[in-house]
Amino acid sequence: MTLVRNLGRRDYESVWQAMSRYTDIRDEHSADEIWCVEHEPVFTQGQAGKAEHLLNTGDIPVVQVDRGGQVTYHGPGQLVVYPLLDLRRAKVGVRDLVTALESATVAMLQEFGIVAAPRADAPGVYLTDGPRAGNKIASIGLRVRRGCSFHGIAINIDMDLAPFLRINPCGYAGMQMVQMAELVQPAPDWNQVAEIFVRELLRTLGLADANWQPLDENEFARLRAPEQGKEEQETTNG
């Protein structure tokens, strides 16, 4: 059974610390978890990040992180999903996980009448129909350590997209972003989107049904302890 936790709205760095720590201390018996969260406004710059893609960040903090890829923006009204999965146990490769994240997003969007698809040249999900075709609605950035994944996918639901104009999203100058609220009225409910996405992700990966559990705040605080024992990693981005 995969444990799914709704973290609510939290600052980025505390969640990053916690998921990294969980990856470091877990063993072959540890449960796979999926964390769903909204972040306070933040730009995150991946391992391949270049300063030239930070155009005018202003008062929004920039955090250098250990996922793959370039810069992206997180903020309220965006669904960020972190799959903390033992890929070796699930017999899932990194490319398989990227494909599953993209496929789950496409399937979720279809339930709201939104037509989208991944692109072979740039991970993520993009509209394929209508006047906004080609605009990006979901971005992916992963890291794998000790055979386990963390970081994940960000899906734009009902947020302020203006901060994306302060960067070259995922390193692409002129990349146009879009959100579900511009395509569906009334704007989709964040919790409903999260539930549909998680269901589709688990189905795509062939994993057991989700067991939604509240987050134990004491456990979350413990996981924010300093990381130890970092090992080799694989990364992907978009």
Catalytic position from the list 34, 170, 177, 178: 170
Known binding residue 30? Answer is no
Do residues 60 and 43 touch, judged by C-beta distance below 8 A?
Answer: yes
Distance CA 95, CA 86 (A): 14
Known binding residue 92? Answer is no
Known binding residue 119? Answer is no
Known binding residue 126? Answer is no
Known binding residue 229? Answer is no
Distance CA 97, CA 102 (A): 9
Sign of the alpha-carbon torsion through 83, 190, 164, 174: positive
Known binding residue 141? Answer is yes
Comparing C-alpha atoms, which of 171, 157, 42, 142 is closest to residue 84?
Answer: 142
Do residues 200 and 108 touch, judged by C-beta distance below 8 A?
Answer: yes
Task: Reply yes or no on whether 170 is catalytic.
Answer: yes
Buried b (16+ CB within 10 A) or exposed e, 3-28: ebbbbeebebbebbbbbbbbbbebee
Known binding residue 68? Answer is yes
Known binding residue 69? Answer is yes
Give the residue numbers of the binding site for substrate: 67-74, 139-141, 152-154
Q: Which residues are catalytic?
A: 170
